[in-house]
Copies of this chain bind each other. A is one copy, B any other.
């Protein structure tokens, strides 16, 4: 395909040694030069500040926070004016994170580790972000599309209904909700009925199902 006169220069950041090595191997085989391999976002920032990089591949979960360290590093790089390609790797399709990554502008990508079954998947993603393009895992896109639709029933709830739902999800009984919101029991029942009508639509064999449904609904957000 290419004679590759100028191989891309890429840095890797991942706290898991096994993945660092794996990424390095796949990129190297794909004609990409791995110039650095570190285990934290802070170290990556140092490397990036020295310049000479075309792109960076980094895990989202890294020390010390083990939450969104990778995205934080991305945002700091962008804040510092760096425009190199940044490919975020994650274990799961987390729409919130994907949106944050996309919000950082072009030249960024969000890819699921498990999605990388072919070397070219990763190599091409790196090449894409390095040239200013965007990469989003198809599964994440699907989740996002589903999300905007699934958000519909929730946005159909009124202000009051949402506050009631919130307390429901926290395990409050109708009576407890009534006390918390200074309402009559019957009023809460009315709201609950309205909420269930708007969210459930069908089937409601057991009571527990309701709680479960609400919990999974809120838990998935």
- Residue pairs across A and B with Cβ atoms less than 8 A apart, 12 shown, are A16-B22, A17-B26, A17-B122, A18-B22, A18-B26, A21-B21, A21-B22, A171-B206, A171-B209, A175-B206, A208-B211, A215-B215
Chain B positions within 8 Å of A23 at CB level: 18, 21-22
Whether, in the assembled complex, A119 has its beta carbon less than 8 Å from a beta carbon of chain B, the answer is: yes
**In the bound complex, CA of A122 to CA of B18 (Å):** 9
Whether, in the assembled complex, A133 has its beta carbon less than 8 Å from a beta carbon of chain B, the answer is: no
Residues of A175-221 at the interface with B, using a CB-CB cut-off of 8 Å, are 175-176, 205-209, 211-212, 215
Q: Is the CB of B172 within 8 A of A208?
A: yes
**In the bound complex, CA of A73 to CA of B168 (Å):** 44
**In the bound complex, CA of A19 to CA of B172 (Å):** 42
Partner pick for A25 among B21, B114, B119, B212, CB 8 A cutoff: B21
The chain A residues found within 8 Å of chain B, CB to CB, are 15-26, 39, 91, 113-114, 116-119, 122, 168, 171-173, 175-176, 205-209, 211-212, 215
Closest to A119 in B: B17
Chain B positions within 8 Å of A208 at CB level: 168, 171-173, 211
Given contacts A39-B117, A114-B15, A211-B212, contact A176 B206 (CB under 8 A): yes
Closest to A213 in B: B171
Given contacts A17-B119, A176-B206, 4 further A-B contacts (CB under 8 A): A20-B22, A21-B23, A25-B25, A172-B208
Closest to A175 in B: B206
Chain B positions within 8 Å of A19 at CB level: 18-19, 22, 113
**In the bound complex, CA of A69 to CA of B23 (Å):** 24
Q: Is the CB of B171 within 8 A of A18?
A: no
